[in-house]
Chains A and B, each alone.
Chain A
């Protein structure tokens, strides 16, 4: 079966600035695919190429078998796109925005209500409120509704959870899961590494290049270096002390712990002794399970 999204050697430059280079990806139908990378990694550029808003300088891409440059008119009928910046009419109400986008796609809210029902029910109490006056989470829900109202086959969501509170973010991902069950292919980008594990497969992207593509667990499992979670009474001094040592390859803050990657496997006691010698107290040290963030930082360092 043909993949839902196929990207072959896509490259894009803005003047002298390279935004994307040699991107190759395949996303299966009905997959929830994540593009994970920091700001400026090229995620938005890739989205704009796939949604036919931007022409690539090199390579080609297909969405549902439609060429992003040649078949741009057809593509626009079958995709839903939610830009990173809130792009609905702020001076129109919730209901007016939804009706407008439904009409533009030649459909009605009633016809596709089943698709947006769960999300729209939460918005219903505010349906006469101007979109500009909604909270961040509500705005995202409305934008998702507008992107879904024409029953797209592929959904492109560019950083849908940026600037949204933790509860709304969790809700949002729940919604995506349910949409996936309907067979809609979803490509979503996020700068939050913790959201990566919610996708079926992810691509780590940095500096316009793809570092790795796989299922989140496979990616974390690929991390073979010894990793420890460390914590002492003095967090900041601990960070500096560990960074000064020869045995540490990388020390990165991770919540209330530090993630310490050592160059070679070494006994935990050896590390504890070192910390004691530096006068640290309340030492807690345990082997850690690698996260996407660890892999990402590692890949960034090696490339």
Chain B
């Protein structure tokens, strides 16, 4: 026990003597949290919209003014030519073209229907489809309005029939605040990555410097050595989470509806898994460079398939399976569920279980792969 404590103490001394590590575990997470939370904003704004009004009627002007009132669109001047608007789309200056044909108002009043064309640039899929969605919502409400407005003028009195009106309510994040949605996920991701990287570099550094040779001829037991390396990083990981949560609360006022103990408890399990993986990578590598690249490989996959930026539910089935052994995916889910939804332990127990199994597997591999005899 005394031996273990000493290894832990030694690791801490080394960690805090390393000039790069201290800013890495304090400043970097906060900066990333700020930058990523603002940048990774799924909300679509600034859709470049070209309106080609060939009607110049009261109705068309009403529609345009309604669109103008929304702050999601930037109107691109394309005059009255659809061809010119299409050219703009070719050049990437226009995301969506809204074309109002001549006779629009007349047709509407005469035949009780009018046609409007929407041309959407699908290269930038999200911008275009979401933009088009917003636009159709506006057009929907516009059509409702003119119908009521024109009702007396229409030849046949429309009988008020039953109508289904859709209304959205965004639960757990009423204002659809993307920062509230992103920040908890990013915290989970950051803690995982930093800890994984730090551990992956650790044992391999001892090998590179040669200190492992000296350690190996001592009676240190494998588990003591590995546990001695894990405990400091476990503590650092929890510290990181605390820093992240504090920053999230102060900067974005991220709601914390659930019990924070669940978050920290999960973080502990998650760190155990990630540490095991990091040490495993470290044991298999001969140089810090190798360890770095291997970690990089995992980190990229883990992040992109974590559900942080793209929902797991929209991935193909095989990819969804791949997210099961992904500690970041579980962490992101737990953070969001507990902080935003107020989920309890039993709600996220699946994540606990899977991560717990991962922790056992990774650590078993780490202890097995650490050879004291070459």
Contacts and interface: CB of A to CB of B under 8 A. Distances in A.
B3 A51 contact: no
Contacts, number: 70
A275 to B, nearest CB: 50
A96 interface: yes
Interface of B, secondary structure class, is helix
Contact of B374 (A48, A73, A88, A99): A48
Nearest to B17: A91
The 8 A-B pairs with the shortest beta carbon distances in the complex, nearest first, are: A87-B214, A103-B6, A87-B210, A81-B217, A85-B210, A83-B213, A104-B218, A91-B17
A74 B15 CA distance: 32
A236 B267 CA distance: 73
A79 B219 contact: no
A105 B213 contact: no
A96 B214 contact: no
Contacts of B14: 89, 91-92
B280 to A, nearest CB: 22
Interface stretch (A20-28, A52-60, A117-125, A246-254): A52-60
Nearest to A54: B374
B214 A81 contact: yes
Interface residues of B, number: 24
22 contacts: A51-B217, A53-B216, A53-B217, A53-B372, A53-B373, A72-B373, A77-B219, A83-B210, A85-B210, A85-B213, A87-B209, A87-B210, A87-B213, A91-B17, A92-B10, A92-B14, A100-B6, A101-B214, A104-B3, A104-B218, A104-B219, A105-B219
A87 to B, nearest CB: 4
B242 interface: no
Interface in A63-119: 72-73, 76-77, 79, 81, 83, 85-92, 96, 99-101, 103-106
Given A86-B210, A87-B211, A146-B214, 16 more contacts: A53-B213, A53-B372, A53-B373, A81-B217, A87-B209, A87-B214, A88-B211, A91-B13, A91-B18, A92-B10, A92-B14, A101-B214, A103-B2, A104-B6, A104-B220, A105-B218
Nearest to A78: B219
A72 B216 CA distance: 11
A103 B6 CA distance: 7
B217 A54 contact: no
A89 B220 contact: no
A100 to B, nearest CB: 5
A50 to B, nearest CB: 10
A239 to B, nearest CB: 39
A101 B10 CA distance: 11
Contacts of A48: 374
Interface in B190-234: 209-220
Interface string B10-36: 100110011000000000000000000
Contacts of B209: 87, 90
Contacts of A100: 6, 10
A146 B218 CA distance: 11
Contacts of B18: 91
Interface string B49-69: 000000000000000000000
A55 B373 contact: yes
Nearest to B211: A87
B217 A52 contact: yes
